Amino acid sequence: MTLILKASELQTLADMPGTIAAVERVFAGLSRGTAFQPAPDSLLLPSSDARFLPMAALSSAEELASVKLLADIPANRESGLPTQRSTIMLVSQLTGETLAILDGKVPTRVRTAAASAVATKLLARPGSTTLGLVGAGALAVAHVEAMLAVLPIENVVVWSRSADTVAAFCDEISHYGLNVTRAASVREVVEAADVLCTLTPAVEPLVKGEWFQPGLHVNAVGSRPRADHREIDSAGMVRARVFVDSLATARAKSGGLIIPVAEGVMSFEDVEAELGDVAAGTKAGRLGDEDVTLFNSVGIGLQDLAIGRLLYDAALIHGVGTRVELNN
């Protein structure tokens, strides 16, 4: 039987601390060779700006193969529709049975924040107390929850182009009792932060490396998986010690890395390590309090596999979802 799980059901099952642990586990598995993660293809036609990315992954620890089909359609914004939609399929690594089909909205948001939390745990200064957020939507709310799981965050400095979005964000996180500052500029956020998360679908960079303060850790996770989109300028990439989720994926899909390499100001060999190497203990993370560290990510299928395992198991325990016999 295949379990069909819709977004409203997944929202009730999502568990941030569990997802952080699962994402760290599969990152380490990628480094150790117990998980496999190919760089995703980007399917496109000359008649449209839409991209379709099949994001596949395989993990022996989770006993799963998975694929998420991500539809990235910027033109949807003009119709008031989501610009990104996705569906995740989970398949038993042992039997090949299709175990579940999940709407991708909730898993993608939670696992993205969880990956930032793993990077922050491994790369940020342990005593960091001020979280800076460039972007204030649902992903920013998830990042507050994720950062609180790994750091003693007391202060949040947030910026968005939309005052209404910032107001809604403040309401969403009010129960945490944090000191929240509504910044007038991106620069104000960057210069105040111990940990900075950039969470916007920017095409041109919003964040400049000249604003980076010693000791900063950056999670750059908002840009679309496109070679010409980025949130951080080239000076920022050169200034920081850069870590990625998957170098093969970053080389193909991350404008934040591809553009400064094309400009000749850095090379792919300047990337310090994949995050999984740090999680597995084979590569060093932060070397000192003055380091500027940067996690550059466009997301990988192993993150979807990790949270998919958790959500599927939780759905079975709680009796959530619709069972379908696909082979019938």
In whole angstroms, what is the distance from residue 1 CA to residue 244 CA? 37
**Considering the chain, what percentage of its residues have pLDDT values greater than 90?**
95
The position carrying tokens 């390590």 is 273
Identify which has the larger pLDDT, 88 or 227.
Answer: 88
The Cα angle at residue 140 between residues 137 and 144, in degrees rounded to 5: 145
Q: State the Cα–Cα distance between residues 307 and 25, nearest whole angstrom.
A: 11
285-318 pLDDT, tens digit per residue, is 999 999 999 999 989 999 999 999 999 999 999 9
pLDDT at 284: 96
Provide the angle, in degrees to the nearest 10, between the axes of the packed helices 105-123 and 138-148.
40
Contact (CB, 8 A) for 156 and 144:
yes
Instruction: List, for residues 4-59, the tens digit of each pLDDT value.
Output: 999 999 999 999 999 999 999 999 999 999 999 998 889 999 999 999 999 999 99
pTM of the model: 0.96
Predicted local confidence at residue 327, as pLDDT: 86
3 state SS for 51-85: EEEEEEEEECCCCEEEEEEEEECHHHHHHCCCCEE
Q: Give yes or no: 253 in active site.
A: no
Residue from 161, 60, 71, 149 nearest 110 by CA: 149
- Judging by beta carbons within 10 Å of its beta carbon (0-12, 13-18, 19+), is residue 303 exposed, middle or buried? buried
- Beta strand ranges found along 121-235 (DSSP E): 130-134, 155-159, 179-182, 195-198, 217-220
Distance CA 71, CA 66 (A): 16
Tell me what pLDDT residue 328 has.
83
Cβ atoms of 316 and 5 within 8 Å: the answer is no
Distance from the Cα of residue 172 to its chain's centroid:
20
| Widest CA span in the chain | 61
Q: Which of 68, 105, 121, 253 is catalytic?
A: 68
Strands 64-72 and 51-59 come out as antiparallel
For residue 224, count other CB atoms closer than 10 A to its CB: 21
Q: Which of 127, 120, 133 is nearest to 20 (CA)?
A: 120
Domains in the chain and their CATH numbers? 2-107+302-324 (3.30.1780.10), 125-299 (3.40.50.720)
Helices 105-123 and 16-32, axial angle in degrees (round to 10): 70
Task: Report the percentage of the chain scoring pLDDT > 70.
Answer: 100
